[in-house]
């Protein structure tokens, strides 16, 4: 029997709908969705309303920073607006979660650029499908950039993206570095601990 046909067996329609919607989230199967639904059912009404309002606020207010393309509830995120950050160094990451991981390490004081993906030709994802053009536009503008730290994940796609970016950026006479191999091969940046990221950042190498 298909998973979709099993949703909500013996449940009222409202619960069935909630389980179905929760199951659409990544990493949430039917059993986990059912547990979450029952947990929410047992919570005070104010808690459920607060959760619903938080979800709506997130959807309505959160967009992309016009500079780094990270998540922001204003035109420019708080990192890009911080005068204490060093605009001459840009760290390139695959997604917003990777940016958050780098910030947790408290080892990077520059700015970021979020690609929103990585090159994956076998999946039909090429340079025009991620935010590479936006990065190149930033690098050709003001203030001048002295170094680009490529912090894509240590996967086949991440490595391919890093090499592609290095070839594009080097003719601009900008230093291009890659995080050191303290990161496990095949691992995602967002799941790395702060100490590992700090070591990888301090030991970054030119590519």
**Predicted confidence (pLDDT) per residue in 92-145, tens digit:** 999 999 999 999 988 899 999 999 999 999 899 999 999 999 999 999 999 999
Q: What percent of the chain has pLDDT over 70?
A: 87
* Domain 11-61 = CATH 1.10.8.420: yes
Write out pLDDT tens, residues 159-175: 999 999 999 999 999 99
CATH class of 71-206: alpha beta
Cα–Cα–Cα angle for 166, 170, 173, rounded to 5 degrees: 150
Q: Are 115 and 127 in contact (CB under 8 A)?
A: no
Domain with CATH 3.40.1360.10 in the chain: 71-206
Classify burial at 116, counting beta carbons within 10 Å of its beta carbon; exposed 0-12, middle 13-18, buried 19 or more. middle
Query: What is residue 103's predicted lDDT score, i.e. its pLDDT?
Result: 94
- Which of 94-98, 148-152, 170-174, 179-183 comes out lowest in average pLDDT? 179-183
Beta strand 110-114 with 71-72 is: unpaired
- Which of 1-5, 97-101, 148-152 comes out lowest in average pLDDT? 1-5
Contacts of 35 (CB under 8 A, 6+ apart): none
Query: What is residue 59's predicted lDDT score, i.e. its pLDDT?
Result: 92
For residue 2, pLDDT beyond 60: no
Contacts of 80 (CB under 8 A, 6+ apart): 65, 67, 68, 70, 111
Domain with CATH 1.10.8.420 in the chain: 11-61
Q: Are 79 and 96 in contact (CB under 8 A)?
A: no
For residue 190, pLDDT beyond 50: yes
Q: Which residues pair with 64 in a beta bridge?
A: 71
Which letter, b or e, does each residue of 78-103 get, where b requires 16 or more Cβ atoms within 10 Å of its Cβ? ebbeeeebebebbbbbbbbebbebbb
Closest CA to 75 of 87, 63, 83, 91: 63
């Amino acid at each position: 029997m298909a998973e979709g046909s099993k949703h909500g067996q013996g449940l009222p329609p409202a619960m069935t709908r909630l389980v179905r919607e929760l199951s659409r989230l990544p990493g949430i199967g039917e059993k986990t969705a059912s547990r979450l639904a029952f947990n929410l059912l047992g919570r005070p009404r104010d808690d459920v309303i607060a959760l619903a309002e938080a979800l709506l606020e997130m959807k309505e207010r959160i967009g992309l920073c016009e500079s780094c393309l990270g998540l922001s509830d204003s035109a420019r995120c708080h990192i890009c607006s911080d005068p204490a950050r060093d605009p001459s160094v840009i760290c390139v990451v695959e997604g917003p979660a990777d940016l958050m991981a780098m910030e947790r390490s408290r080892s990077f004081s520059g700015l970021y650029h979020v690609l929103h993906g990585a090159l994956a030709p076998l999946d039909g994802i090429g340079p025009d499908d991620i935010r590479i053009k936006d990065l190149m536009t930033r690098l050709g503008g003001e203030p001048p950039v002295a170094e680009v730290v490529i912090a894509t994940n240590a996967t086949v796609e991440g490595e391919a993206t890093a090499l592609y970016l290095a070839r594009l950026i080097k003719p601009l006479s900008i230093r291009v570095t890659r995080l050191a191999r303290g990161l496990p091969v095949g691992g995602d940046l967002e799941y790395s601990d702060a100490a590992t990221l700090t070591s990888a950042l301090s030991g970054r190498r030119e590519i």
